[in-house]
């Protein structure tokens, strides 16, 4: 049997996961065995950037494409910040189709041996807000002290996320919303407004979410939700059916986790596993950094593609062939590939430029995102000894995890109490409490007995798990996330702060500060590949602007920027720049999203006259049998 070559373009999460599954997966049937990678075959990975995977494969920045862990002074033993994707929703392993969480991410972390580094990464139950120059904690928003918005039906007396619930109830009741992937796919296509309003009977998928929210909440109500939820991307005019599912995840109460080794460590571990698997199977593994896919055509039963170098990305440098190809790339990068053959005559089939394929590609809305990280020599945002600090970061929390339970057991804490706390029904396990008194009271109620002073001290010491915040504001920094001193070198006092986590139109505010004063732009923005280079040093003017807005959040609207100390180091990631041009993506209205998801993976299905087994970028490929169900449809979030 002739040897075969498989080519993957893109070495982020999708590309690495595909390579790993091709090497480690098992064919679902006999027909797939001949297509599985075997001794003598070749697996190619093409990477527009050059990620720092290991000593043997060094690069300019941490791996992960739109994930990017940044350590202080680039020292991996020092404190770190996540300037891209940073967390996942843990899946319990229950495969009944109803369990929440990110199943694939959770399973990959487990199978790569990284579960030992997984820790809670939760949001505060009492976040701080700075909206329309008013500072307030969530618990302090009441009818006597409403948020500064003129919302109908006393909507400003409650959390800004209440607006999401109001719109969600248009589907009837929360209990009527789907609970499984299959049910959600049915809802994405056929879900409609059930309550007696003007739009009753209309399909959610054919309504823009901004249109729907504005209609139901009014101008002030929409403004309160938009400003107060922290993500402008959550309230743009995207597919309302998908928004009802996705926005449930990004509201307070979702249990998140991260890795103490940094989120980018997932992708370093995946790359290492790929190298080892290829060697063990006798598959030739070829990693090509600093090269991008320039164009791709289906020629007969094969695929002909051109590549371009990172130094000269607009000109093809070589033409090659492959048996199967995977485009593990974001929409913008795929658009660039399609442009190369859109206006010229050529042999073969140009699948990417077929009208139906373009239609489905355009279902992905590009959502720009911007993150700025700062390191300080003290945790000034929680220093209550500073009388000027009027609004400390609300990060203190207590949470019992399985690791906490094990630690308590080793200290002689009553085993019966531990057994009760580990039960999900107790309401204790992996539930953060912002108050020590509330936490102790909840535990005592669960175990049915009063704790001794010693037991209280043991429990509080073991369960102290600070949250990440965030604090939310309508100023351009939008969200502030508190990472603290999380380095492995505990003798070093370096505290990380995600000083700005913003998206959509707010990215432009910071982009114009990237150059600083008295400087003209020398290269077009379309050629600025900063996301591939890694976190870039912020100029003084950007640092001053960040300090000014942080000061307003924590010290009050009249405070001076000098209330926030000078940072040790400040860098940014501008995810609005190529080759990603988005920190995340959403689905547009007027699409059957599940149909898009299934067919865009193999877009030849969209072209009349091609058999379902042929592919725009691949011949028939092995159907890999998963060890778990696929996750429900979600947009990515950095």
List pLDDT tens digits, range 151-163.
Answer: 999 999 999 999 9
Q: Domain boundaries in the chain?
A: 5-68+264-366+582-625, 128-251, 369-395+469-574, 397-463
pLDDT at residue number 174: 65
pLDDT at residue number 93: 84
Highest mean pLDDT (candidates 250-264, 306-320, 393-407, 463-477): 306-320
pLDDT at residue number 251: 52
Instruction: Tell me: pLDDT of 465 over 80.
Output: no
> pLDDT class for 26, splitting at 50, 70, 90?
confident
The mean predicted confidence, pLDDT, of the chain is 91
How remote is the C-alpha of 164 from its chain's centroid?
20
Instruction: Tell me: pLDDT of 612 over 70.
Output: no
> pLDDT class for 254, splitting at 50, 70, 90?
low
371, β-bridge pairs: 501, 573
List pLDDT tens digits, range 98-151.
Answer: 777 899 999 999 999 999 999 888 788 889 999 999 999 999 999 999 999 999
Instruction: Tell me: pLDDT of 337 over 80.
Output: yes
List pLDDT tens digits, range 351-391.
Answer: 999 999 999 999 999 999 999 999 999 999 999 999 999 99
Instruction: Tell me: pLDDT of 1 over 80.
Output: no
pLDDT at residue number 608: 75
Cβ contact 151:167 at 8 Å: no
Instruction: Tell me: pLDDT of 628 over 70.
Output: no
Q: Domain 369-395+469-574 has what CATH class?
A: alpha beta
Cβ contact 280:20 at 8 Å: no
List pLDDT tens digits, range 46-75.
Answer: 999 999 999 999 999 999 999 999 999 999
pLDDT more than 70, % of the chain: 94
Structure tokens at 21: 């599954």
Instruction: Tell me: pLDDT of 479 over 80.
Output: yes
Instruction: Tell me: pLDDT of 249 over 80.
Output: no
Instruction: Tell me: pLDDT of 414 over 90.
Output: yes
What is the rounded end-to-end Cα distance, in angstroms, of the chain? 44
Rounded to an integer, the average pLDDT of 501-526 is 94
Rounded to an integer, the average pLDDT of 558-574 is 98
pLDDT at residue number 560: 98
Instruction: Tell me: pLDDT of 618 over 50.
Output: no
List pLDDT tens digits, range 84-95.
Answer: 999 999 888 887
**What are the residues whose beta carbons fall under 8 Å from the beta carbon of 573, sequence distance 6 or more?**
68, 83, 84, 370, 371, 530, 531, 534, 535, 536
**DSSP notation for 183-248:** HHHHHHHH-B--SSSTTTT-BGGGSBHHHHHHHHHHHHHHHHHHHHTS-GGGGSSBBHHHHHHHHH
What does CATH list as the number for 5-68+264-366+582-625? 3.50.50.60
- Map 261-276 to HEC letters: CCCCHHHHHHHHHHHH
- Map 507-558 to HEC letters: HHHHHCCCCCCCCCCCCCHHHCCHHHHCCEECCHHHHHHHHHHHHHHHHCCC
pLDDT at residue number 442: 97
Instruction: Tell me: pLDDT of 300 over 70.
Output: yes
47, β-bridge pairs: 289
**What are the residues whose beta carbons fall under 8 Å from the beta carbon of 564, sequence distance 6 or more?**
380, 547, 550, 551, 554, 555
Rounded to an integer, the average pLDDT of 318-330 is 96
How far apart, in Å, are the Cα atoms of 523 and each of 137, 176, 308, 528, 581?
44, 53, 19, 7, 17
pLDDT at residue number 615: 34
Domains 5-68+264-366+582-625 and 369-395+469-574 share a fold: no
List pLDDT tens digits, range 157-209.
Answer: 999 999 999 999 998 866 678 888 889 999 999 999 998 887 899 999 999 99
């Amino acid at each position: 049997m002739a040897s075969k070559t498989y080519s993957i373009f893109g070495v982020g999460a999708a590309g690495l996961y595909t390579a790993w599954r091709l090497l480690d997966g098992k064919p679902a049937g006999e027909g797939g065995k001949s297509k599985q990678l075997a001794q003598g075959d070749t697996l190619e990975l093409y990477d527009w950037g050059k990620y720092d995977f290991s000593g043997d494969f060094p690069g300019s920045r941490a791996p992960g494409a739109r994930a990017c862990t940044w350590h202080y002074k680039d020292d991996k033993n020092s404190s770190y910040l996540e300037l891209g994707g940073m967390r996942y929703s843990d899946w319990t392993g229950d495969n009944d189709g109803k369990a929440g969480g990110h199943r694939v991410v959770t399973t990959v972390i487990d199978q790569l041996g990284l579960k030992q580094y997984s820790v809670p990464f939760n949001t505060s139950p009492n976040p701080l807000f700075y909206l329309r120059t008013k500072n307030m904690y969530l618990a302090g928003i009441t009818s006597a002290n409403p948020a500064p918005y003129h919302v109908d039906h006393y909507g400003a007396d409650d959390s800004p996320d209440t607006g999401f619930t109001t719109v969600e109830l248009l589907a009837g009741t929360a209990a009527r919303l789907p609970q499984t992937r299959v049910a959600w796919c049915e809802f994405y296509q056929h879900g409609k407004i059930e309550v007696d309003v003007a739009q009753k009977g209309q399909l959610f998928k054919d309504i823009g979410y901004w249109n729907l929210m504005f209609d139901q909440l009014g101008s002030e109500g929409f403004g309160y939700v938009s400003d107060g939820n922290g993500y402008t991307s959550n309230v743009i005019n995207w597919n309302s059916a998908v928004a009802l599912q996705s926005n449930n995840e990004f509201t307070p109460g979702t249990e998140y986790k991260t890795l103490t080794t940094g989120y980018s460590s997932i992708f370093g571990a995946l790359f290492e596993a790929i190298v080892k698997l290829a060697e063990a199977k006798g598959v030739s593994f070829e990693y090509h950094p600093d090269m991008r896919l320039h164009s791709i055509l289906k020629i007969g039963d094969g695929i002909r593609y051109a590549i371009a170098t990172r130094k000269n990305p607009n000109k093809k440098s070589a033409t090659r062939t492959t048996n199967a190809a995977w485009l593990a790339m974001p929409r913008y990068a795929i658009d660039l590939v399609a442009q190369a053959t859109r206006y010229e005559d050529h042999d073969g089939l140009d699948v990417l430029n077929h009208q139906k394929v373009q239609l489905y590609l355009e279902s992905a809305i590009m959502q720009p995102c911007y993150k700025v990280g700062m390191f300080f020599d003290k945790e000034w945002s929680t220093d209550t000894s500073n009388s000027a600090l009027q609004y400390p970061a609300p990060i203190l929390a207590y949470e019992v995890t399985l690791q906490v339970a094990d630690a308590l057991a080793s200290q002689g804490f009553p085993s019966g109490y531990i057994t009760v706390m580990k039960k999900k029904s107790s309401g204790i396990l992996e539930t953060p409490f912002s108050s020590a008194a509330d936490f102790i009271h909840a535990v005592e109620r669960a175990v049915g007995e009063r704790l001794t002073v010693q037991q209280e001290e043991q429990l509080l010491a073991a369960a102290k798990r600070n949250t990440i915040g965030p604090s939310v504001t309508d100023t351009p920094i939008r969200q502030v996330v508190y990472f603290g001193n999380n380095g492995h070198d505990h003798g070093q006092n370096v505290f990380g702060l995600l000083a700005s986590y913003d998206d959509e139109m707010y990215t432009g505010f910071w982009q114009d500060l990237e150059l600083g004063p008295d400087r003209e732009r020398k290269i077009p923005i379309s050629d600025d590949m900063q996301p591939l280079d890694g976190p870039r040093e912020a100029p003084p003017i950007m640092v001053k602007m960040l300090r000014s807005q942080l000061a307003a959040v924590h010290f009050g609207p009249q405070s001076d920027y000098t209330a926030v100390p000078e940072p040790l180091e400040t860098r940014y990631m501008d995810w609005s720049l190529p080759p990603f041009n988005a920190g995340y993506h959403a689905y547009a209205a007027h699409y059957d999203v599940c149909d898009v998801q299934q067919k865009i993976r193999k877009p030849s299905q969209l072209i009349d006259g091609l058999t379902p087994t042929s592919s725009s970028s691949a011949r028939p490929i092995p159907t890999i049998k998963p060890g778990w169900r696929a996750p429900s449809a979600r947009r990515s979030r950095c």
